Protein backbone atom coordinates (compact mmCIF):
# COMPACT_ATOMS: atom_id res chain seq x y z
CA UNK A 1 0.00 0.00 0.00
CA UNK A 2 1.14 3.52 -0.59
CA UNK A 3 2.57 5.45 2.30
CA UNK A 4 4.39 8.70 2.92
CA UNK A 5 6.63 9.15 5.93
CA UNK A 6 7.88 12.47 7.20
CA UNK A 7 9.98 11.45 10.16
CA UNK A 8 10.69 14.99 11.34
CA UNK A 9 7.72 16.21 13.32
CA UNK A 10 9.15 19.61 14.14
CA UNK A 11 12.29 21.49 13.13
CA UNK A 12 13.49 24.77 14.53
CA UNK A 13 16.21 26.82 12.86
CA UNK A 14 17.56 30.32 13.04
CA UNK A 15 17.07 32.62 10.11
CA UNK A 16 19.58 32.19 7.27
CA UNK A 17 20.26 28.58 8.15
CA UNK A 18 19.69 25.92 5.51
CA UNK A 19 17.17 23.25 6.38
CA UNK A 20 16.19 19.96 4.74
CA UNK A 21 12.81 18.34 5.19
CA UNK A 22 12.82 14.59 4.63
CA UNK A 23 10.18 12.58 2.80
CA UNK A 24 10.23 8.83 2.26
CA UNK A 25 7.51 7.11 0.29
CA UNK A 26 6.30 3.60 -0.40
CA UNK A 27 4.52 2.49 -3.53
CA UNK A 28 4.36 -0.57 -5.72
CA UNK A 29 3.43 1.49 -8.74
CA UNK A 30 6.04 2.36 -11.33
CA UNK A 31 4.26 5.54 -12.34
CA UNK A 32 3.53 7.97 -9.57
CA UNK A 33 3.75 11.61 -8.64
CA UNK A 34 5.22 13.30 -5.61
CA UNK A 35 4.20 16.65 -4.24
CA UNK A 36 5.13 19.17 -1.60
CA UNK A 37 2.59 21.52 -0.06
CA UNK A 38 3.10 24.36 2.39
CA UNK A 39 0.60 25.27 5.09
CA UNK A 40 1.44 28.62 6.67
CA UNK A 41 -0.07 29.67 10.01
CA UNK A 42 -3.04 31.15 8.15
CA UNK A 43 -4.08 27.59 7.32
CA UNK A 44 -4.37 27.42 3.56
CA UNK A 45 -2.56 24.75 1.56
CA UNK A 46 -0.12 26.06 -1.00
CA UNK A 47 1.14 23.85 -3.81
CA UNK A 48 4.93 23.93 -4.16
CA UNK A 49 5.99 21.25 -6.60
CA UNK A 50 4.93 18.11 -8.48
CA UNK A 51 7.42 15.56 -9.74
CA UNK A 52 6.68 12.39 -11.71
CA UNK A 53 8.49 9.12 -11.14
CA UNK A 54 10.31 9.25 -14.45
CA UNK A 55 11.97 12.56 -13.80
CA UNK A 56 14.75 12.29 -11.28
CA UNK A 57 16.31 15.63 -12.05
CA UNK A 58 16.71 17.82 -9.06
CA UNK A 59 14.81 21.06 -9.19
CA UNK A 60 15.63 24.48 -7.86
CA UNK A 61 13.25 27.37 -7.49
CA UNK A 62 14.81 30.35 -5.82
CA UNK A 63 15.72 29.31 -2.28
CA UNK A 64 13.84 26.03 -2.63
CA UNK A 65 15.31 22.85 -4.02
CA UNK A 66 14.11 19.27 -4.23
CA UNK A 67 16.13 16.09 -4.37
CA UNK A 68 14.32 13.06 -5.79
CA UNK A 69 16.07 9.69 -5.41
CA UNK A 70 14.16 6.62 -6.53
CA UNK A 71 16.89 4.35 -5.20
CA UNK A 72 16.07 5.41 -1.65
CA UNK A 73 12.40 6.31 -2.29
CA UNK A 74 13.01 9.80 -1.04
CA UNK A 75 11.91 13.25 -2.14
CA UNK A 76 13.62 15.72 0.15
CA UNK A 77 13.03 19.45 0.26
CA UNK A 78 15.74 21.97 1.11
CA UNK A 79 15.27 25.61 1.96
CA UNK A 80 18.44 27.65 1.60
CA UNK A 81 18.96 30.72 3.76
CA UNK A 82 15.70 30.24 5.59
CA UNK A 83 13.49 33.20 6.43
CA UNK A 84 10.85 33.76 9.08
CA UNK A 85 8.19 33.64 6.34
CA UNK A 86 9.18 30.03 5.69
CA UNK A 87 7.67 29.07 9.04
CA UNK A 88 4.89 26.64 8.20
CA UNK A 89 3.88 23.02 8.15
CA UNK A 90 5.17 21.25 5.07
CA UNK A 91 3.47 18.20 3.64
CA UNK A 92 4.86 15.65 1.26
CA UNK A 93 2.28 13.67 -0.76
CA UNK A 94 2.11 10.78 -3.20
CA UNK A 95 -0.30 10.00 -6.00
CA UNK A 96 -0.27 6.71 -7.89
CA UNK A 97 -1.17 6.35 -11.54
CA UNK A 98 -2.40 2.77 -11.29
CA UNK A 99 -5.72 1.85 -9.74
CA UNK A 100 -4.61 -0.48 -6.98
CA UNK A 101 -7.53 -0.73 -4.61
CA UNK A 102 -9.36 1.97 -6.50
CA UNK A 103 -7.12 4.72 -5.23
CA UNK A 104 -5.83 5.92 -8.56
CA UNK A 105 -4.84 9.51 -8.41
CA UNK A 106 -5.79 10.11 -4.80
CA UNK A 107 -3.26 12.20 -2.90
CA UNK A 108 -1.81 10.42 0.13
CA UNK A 109 -0.20 12.82 2.56
CA UNK A 110 2.55 12.45 5.11
CA UNK A 111 1.87 13.74 8.59
CA UNK A 112 3.77 16.94 7.95
CA UNK A 113 6.84 18.67 9.34
CA UNK A 114 6.41 21.87 11.28
CA UNK A 115 9.22 24.28 10.49
CA UNK A 116 9.86 27.21 12.79
CA UNK A 117 12.34 29.82 11.63
CA UNK A 118 13.40 32.19 14.37
CA UNK A 119 14.85 35.64 13.71
CA UNK B 1 -11.06 33.63 -9.89
CA UNK B 2 -12.74 32.12 -6.86
CA UNK B 3 -11.16 28.68 -7.28
CA UNK B 4 -12.47 26.40 -4.55
CA UNK B 5 -14.84 27.92 -2.02
CA UNK B 6 -15.83 26.23 1.21
CA UNK B 7 -18.73 27.27 3.39
CA UNK B 8 -18.96 27.74 6.26
CA UNK B 9 -15.48 28.64 7.47
CA UNK B 10 -16.23 27.92 11.11
CA UNK B 11 -18.94 25.98 12.87
CA UNK B 12 -19.66 24.67 16.34
CA UNK B 13 -22.04 21.75 16.60
CA UNK B 14 -23.52 19.88 19.50
CA UNK B 15 -23.15 16.13 19.60
CA UNK B 16 -25.88 14.52 17.56
CA UNK B 17 -26.59 17.53 15.36
CA UNK B 18 -26.31 17.31 11.63
CA UNK B 19 -24.81 19.66 9.11
CA UNK B 20 -23.62 19.93 5.54
CA UNK B 21 -20.36 21.43 4.36
CA UNK B 22 -20.44 22.89 0.89
CA UNK B 23 -17.57 22.91 -1.56
CA UNK B 24 -17.93 24.83 -4.81
CA UNK B 25 -15.40 25.11 -7.62
CA UNK B 26 -15.58 27.27 -10.70
CA UNK B 27 -12.77 25.64 -12.70
CA UNK B 28 -14.86 22.93 -14.38
CA UNK B 29 -12.82 20.25 -12.62
CA UNK B 30 -14.03 16.67 -12.81
CA UNK B 31 -12.42 15.47 -9.62
CA UNK B 32 -13.26 16.63 -6.13
CA UNK B 33 -12.15 15.50 -2.71
CA UNK B 34 -12.86 15.95 0.97
CA UNK B 35 -10.03 15.66 3.49
CA UNK B 36 -9.85 16.11 7.22
CA UNK B 37 -6.79 17.42 9.02
CA UNK B 38 -6.06 16.52 12.59
CA UNK B 39 -2.98 17.42 14.64
CA UNK B 40 -0.14 15.03 13.96
CA UNK B 41 -2.17 13.08 11.41
CA UNK B 42 -1.67 15.04 8.22
CA UNK B 43 -4.58 15.11 5.78
CA UNK B 44 -6.72 12.03 5.38
CA UNK B 45 -9.13 11.43 2.54
CA UNK B 46 -12.77 11.07 3.54
CA UNK B 47 -14.60 10.77 0.22
CA UNK B 48 -13.96 11.72 -3.34
CA UNK B 49 -15.75 12.07 -6.66
CA UNK B 50 -14.50 11.41 -10.17
CA UNK B 51 -17.38 13.19 -11.84
CA UNK B 52 -20.91 14.47 -11.51
CA UNK B 53 -23.16 11.89 -9.91
CA UNK B 54 -20.29 9.73 -8.63
CA UNK B 55 -18.80 9.35 -5.17
CA UNK B 56 -16.36 6.94 -3.56
CA UNK B 57 -14.98 6.22 -0.11
CA UNK B 58 -11.55 7.31 0.94
CA UNK B 59 -9.48 6.36 3.95
CA UNK B 60 -11.79 7.58 6.72
CA UNK B 61 -15.38 7.62 5.39
CA UNK B 62 -17.29 6.47 8.50
CA UNK B 63 -19.75 9.00 9.85
CA UNK B 64 -19.83 11.04 6.65
CA UNK B 65 -21.89 11.08 3.49
CA UNK B 66 -21.32 12.99 0.28
CA UNK B 67 -23.18 14.01 -2.82
CA UNK B 68 -22.14 15.40 -6.20
CA UNK B 69 -25.39 16.33 -7.88
CA UNK B 70 -23.78 19.13 -9.84
CA UNK B 71 -20.30 19.11 -11.28
CA UNK B 72 -19.27 22.26 -9.48
CA UNK B 73 -20.49 21.26 -6.01
CA UNK B 74 -19.38 18.56 -3.61
CA UNK B 75 -21.29 18.31 -0.34
CA UNK B 76 -20.06 16.63 2.82
CA UNK B 77 -22.70 15.67 5.36
CA UNK B 78 -22.49 14.73 8.99
CA UNK B 79 -25.74 13.04 9.99
CA UNK B 80 -25.04 12.80 13.73
CA UNK B 81 -21.96 14.73 14.73
CA UNK B 82 -19.56 13.27 17.26
CA UNK B 83 -16.67 14.93 19.13
CA UNK B 84 -14.27 12.72 17.13
CA UNK B 85 -15.32 14.68 14.06
CA UNK B 86 -13.83 17.86 15.44
CA UNK B 87 -11.33 18.73 12.75
CA UNK B 88 -10.40 21.05 9.94
CA UNK B 89 -12.01 19.96 6.70
CA UNK B 90 -10.48 20.72 3.34
CA UNK B 91 -12.08 20.38 -0.03
CA UNK B 92 -9.99 20.09 -3.18
CA UNK B 93 -10.53 19.75 -6.88
CA UNK B 94 -8.37 18.76 -9.81
CA UNK B 95 -8.60 18.82 -13.58
CA UNK B 96 -6.61 15.66 -14.13
CA UNK B 97 -7.00 12.40 -12.24
CA UNK B 98 -3.37 12.70 -11.33
CA UNK B 99 -2.25 16.18 -10.71
CA UNK B 100 -1.91 18.99 -8.29
CA UNK B 101 -5.02 19.77 -6.36
CA UNK B 102 -6.53 23.18 -5.75
CA UNK B 103 -7.58 23.38 -2.14
CA UNK B 104 -10.23 25.44 -0.45
CA UNK B 105 -9.37 27.48 2.60
CA UNK B 106 -10.81 24.96 5.03
CA UNK B 107 -13.70 24.65 7.48
CA UNK B 108 -12.92 24.47 11.17
CA UNK B 109 -15.57 22.30 12.83
CA UNK B 110 -15.89 21.79 16.55
CA UNK B 111 -18.29 19.24 17.98
CA UNK B 112 -19.04 19.69 21.67
**Concatenated DSSP letters of A17-32:** --EEE--EEE-S-SSE
Pick A6 or A97 by higher pLDDT: A6
Chain B residues within 8 A of A102 when measuring between CB atoms? 56
- Range with lowest mean pLDDT among A55-64, A76-85, A110-119, B22-31: A55-64
Quote the minimal CA–CA distance from A50 to chain B in Å.
7
Give the residue ranges of DSSP H helices in A45-88: none
On whether any CB of chain A is under 8 Å from the CB of B51, the answer is no
Mutation site, B98, B99, B107, interface A, largest A CB count within 10 A? B98
Q: What's chain A's average pLDDT?
A: 92
Quote the minimal CA–CA distance from A45 to chain B in Å.
6
pLDDT score of B107 more than 90: yes
B57-79 as b/e, with b when 16 or more CB fall inside 10 Å?
Answer: ebebbeebebebeebbbbbbebe
- The closest CB to that of A43, out of B41, B44, B105, belongs to B105
Nearest CA in chain B to A8: B40
Instruction: Identify which of A20, A22, A26 has the alpha carbon closest to the alpha carbon of residue A73.
Output: A26
Strands A10-14, B19-25: pairing kind: unpaired
Q: What percent of chain B has pLDDT over 90?
A: 89
Give the integer Cα–Cα distance in Å for B28 and A25.
31
Task: Provide the CA B74 distance to its chain's centre, in angstroms.
Answer: 7
Quote the minimal CA–CA distance from A17 to chain B in Å.
25
pLDDT for the residue B14: 97
Positive or negative, the Cα torsion across A61, A64, A69, A70? negative
pLDDT for the residue A38: 96
User: In a 3-state reduction of DSSP, which class is residue A37?
Assistant: strand
Pick A104 or A86 by higher pLDDT: A86
Instruction: Identify which of A110, A93, A116 has the alpha carbon closest to the alpha carbon of residue A19.
Output: A116
pLDDT score of B27 more than 90: yes
- Range with lowest mean pLDDT among A21-35, A39-53, A100-114: A100-114
With cut-offs at 50, 70 and 90, classify the pLDDT of residue B1. low
Amino acid sequence: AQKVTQAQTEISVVEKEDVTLDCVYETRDTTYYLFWYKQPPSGELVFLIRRNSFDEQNEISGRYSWNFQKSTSSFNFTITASQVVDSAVYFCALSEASNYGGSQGNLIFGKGTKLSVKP
Amino acid sequence: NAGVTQTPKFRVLKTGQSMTLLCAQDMNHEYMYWYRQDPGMGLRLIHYSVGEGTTAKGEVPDGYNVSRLKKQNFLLGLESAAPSQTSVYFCASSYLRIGGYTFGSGTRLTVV
